[in-house]
Chains A and B, each alone.
Chain A
Amino acid sequence: MSTTPATSSTSRTDQGQIGSLAGVHSDSDRELPAHPAQPVMEAKDLNVFYGDFHAVHDVNLAYGRNEITAMIGPSGCGKSTVLRCLNRMNDLVAGARVEGQVMYHEQDIYAKNVDPIAVRTHIGMVFQKPNPFPKSIYDNIAYGPRVTGMKVDNMDDLVEEALRGAALWDEVKDKLKQSAYGLSGGQQQRLCIARTIATKPDLILMDEPCSALDPIATARVEDLMLQLRNDYTIIVVTHNMQQAARVSDRTAFFTARPDETTGNRTGLLVEYDLTSNIFSNPSDKRTEDYISGRFG
């Protein structure tokens, strides 16, 4: 196996030091059960269609509390589609249809009586490209609590708390009223994370959060993810296998299978296990081929 396994010697104490750029800031001292004991979220027989196109086939996945779950796989394997189902962002895609269930604390978020807007206030999302609003840094953070009608005693405190939570406070505390567009790409992405945690979500979904960032900014975001794991459950889609190995507790490997008649590629879940197992001892040949760089 050519890929570095998630077993590294670095411990949690390293996380505070953002300077640890070596790329090994994961830990696997954590003893995790083979399956998430009390999943926060669980996809059950999830199928996604875009019009007639069957994008994702029968995905069953349970996401554990205060864990980071990585979803990896080649392009077109449906991992981002699955992620967007978890906070009903797929509703916004014309022609998208979801079958199956997504259980969130024993509530199916696709049940008829569920308000997708309310779902999104509990399940935050960070996108591939940093997408700060064309407003000040302060207003970027305050936007979420304002639009969701959150009860806030002191907005200044909330903004500071969110920025500290995203390890951005020291860099921006003197320019809160300046435009978020003046920040670097990595700072913008951490601002987007701060903006998400300001609404106090339960879960944070991250869709390739580092793919537009340089290695140093990536390392900072990864450090931040490990810190956030103490308070949040994180589900991250990534193209970067080393990233999955570094930060995640569990890894789900997806692949795309061409339909025999139409040739359309349908995504499906191949293997889901503790990250250390996936990277050191995968049980499926396709997983092994992918993480050893033989395809994808």
Chain B
Amino acid sequence: MSVATTTAARTVKTTVATGKSRDRTTVSLVFLVALWFSLFFGVVVLLALIISTATKGAARFDMELLTNYTSLVSPETSGFRAGILGSLWLMLFTALFAVPLGIAAALYLEEFADSEKWWNRLIEVNLQNLAAVPSIVYGLLAVAVMALMGFSDSGTVLGGSVALALLILPVIIITTREAVRAVPREIRDGSLALGATVWQTTWKQTLPAAIPGIATGTILGLSRAIGEAAPLVIVGLAGSIRFDPEGLMSNATALPMQIYSLTSQSQEALRQAASAAIIVLLVMILGLNALAIFIRNKFQRSW
């Protein structure tokens, strides 16, 4: 070995094989601990909440919880049949109202609108703000919309669906736009270069390619809507009902509404039932989120 090689080998040994890592200095370790603590704090609070709710409601995890109506007379066998069915009806019509409107609005903004024009920019800014509007405001808006359309009955499936649809419309528009934007320009160019119109290109190429993203966004929007009580209070949904909803104009309640009204009751058994109902609601929300993740993974496409 020449002198130069030996010197080079020694230099490498002293500068590279030092026995420590610069990624493990005191500063970086302190920072790492801070990050871990933040994560820990968030997860632990959530876990503690779920566990305490679950233990409170544990006595009531039975079929009667799902099949019986709420009863102040026999609180031990009280159930949430009306609320669960009401929430499902609400979700169905919320989706029916919000999804077509949201997709159409998003397609207009992404594929047709001239973003240079001031009115389109105004819509953009408004949309971002709408997503942050408190949900109770959407309840008020829904009451106004219902009154304008000439519906005088309060507390119907229709009123609740309109409120929740308005609530999740911005979410659906924003996620749909992102899904549409993720479809590569080359696909549109390929279609247009064959002599397809912008409308054909959007309908036959862009939209189908964006469906998985749209579905994911829609389901996440619905899982937000299913947990809302405030807008439903404003449109007059009852806290307790002892019959199944039968249609759009039928009076209804929703699971969050029932939970809200029962937690203020003095009877211990009713509060227990409310805790159990919270777990039922959480399971429904987790189910929706799991479905969203499943769709995303199953249909995800890398371009």
> Chain A interface (Cβ within 8 Å of chain B)?
87, 89, 92, 94, 117-118, 120-121, 124-125, 127, 129, 131-134, 143-144, 147-148, 192, 195-196, 199
Q: Residue B23 at the A interface, CB < 8 A?
A: no
Known: A127-B189, A196-B194. 16 other contacts (CB 8 A): A89-B189, A94-B114, A120-B192, A120-B194, A120-B195, A121-B194, A127-B190, A127-B193, A134-B301, A144-B195, A147-B191, A147-B195, A147-B197, A148-B195, A192-B190, A199-B194
A117 to B209, CA, bound (A): 22
B200 proximity list for chain A (CB < 8 A): 147
Q: Residue B196 at the A interface, CB < 8 A?
A: yes
Chain B contacts with A in 175-203, Cβ cutoff 8 A: 184, 186-187, 189-197, 200
Q: Assuming the A-B contacts A133-B205, A147-B204, are A92 and B190 also in contact, with contact meaning beta carbons closer than 8 angstroms in the complex?
A: no
A121 to B204, CA, bound (A): 17
B193 proximity list for chain A (CB < 8 A): 87, 89, 120, 124-125, 127, 196
Of A133, A148, A196, most buried by chain B (CB within 10 Å of CB) is A133
CB proximity of B139 to chain A, nearest CB, Å? 40
A148 proximity list for chain B (CB < 8 A): 194-196
Q: Assuming the A-B contacts A134-B209, A134-B301, are A147 and B196 also in contact, with contact meaning beta carbons closer than 8 angstroms in the complex?
A: yes
Q: Assuming the A-B contacts A94-B116, A127-B186, A143-B204, are A133 and B191 also in contact, with contact meaning beta carbons closer than 8 angstroms in the complex?
A: yes
CB proximity of A147 to chain B, nearest CB, Å? 4
CB proximity of A178 to chain B, nearest CB, Å? 15
Interface size class of B (residues with CB under 8 A): 20 to 34
Contact (Cβ within 8 A) B187 A143: no
Q: Assuming the A-B contacts A89-B192, A127-B186, A133-B187, are A117 and B197 also in contact, with contact meaning beta carbons closer than 8 angstroms in the complex?
A: yes
Number of residue pairs across A and B with beta carbons under 8 Å? 66
A127 proximity list for chain B (CB < 8 A): 186, 189-190, 193
Of A129, A132, A143, A147, most buried by chain B (CB within 10 Å of CB) is A147
Chain B contacts with A in 191-223, Cβ cutoff 8 A: 191-197, 200, 204-205, 208-209
CB proximity of A296 to chain B, nearest CB, Å? 26
B301 proximity list for chain A (CB < 8 A): 134
Residue in A closest to B188 when the chains form the complex, CB atoms: A92
A143 proximity list for chain B (CB < 8 A): 191, 194, 196, 204
CB proximity of B299 to chain A, nearest CB, Å? 11
A196 proximity list for chain B (CB < 8 A): 193-194
A117 to B196, CA, bound (A): 7
Contact (Cβ within 8 A) A195 B194: yes
Of B192, B194, B208, B301, most buried by chain A (CB within 10 Å of CB) is B194
A195 to B189, CA, bound (A): 13
Contact (Cβ within 8 A) A117 B186: no
For this complex, 8 residue pairs linking A to B, each with C-beta atoms less than 8 Å apart, are A89-B192, A92-B192, A131-B189, A133-B190, A133-B205, A147-B197, A148-B194, A148-B195
A147 proximity list for chain B (CB < 8 A): 191, 194-197, 200, 204
Q: Assuming the A-B contacts A94-B116, A117-B197, A147-B200, are A131 and B192 also in contact, with contact meaning beta carbons closer than 8 angstroms in the complex?
A: no
Contact (Cβ within 8 A) A124 B194: yes
Residue in B closest to A140 when the chains form the complex, CB atoms: B190
Contact (Cβ within 8 A) A129 B186: yes
A87 to B192, CA, bound (A): 10
A143 to B192, CA, bound (A): 11
Of B186, B190, B197, B208, most buried by chain A (CB within 10 Å of CB) is B190
A133 proximity list for chain B (CB < 8 A): 187, 190-191, 205
B197 proximity list for chain A (CB < 8 A): 117, 147
Which of these, A117, A121, A131, contacts B190 with CB under 8 Å? A131
Which of these, B116, B195, B204, B208, contacts A199 with CB under 8 Å? B195
CB proximity of B187 to chain A, nearest CB, Å? 6
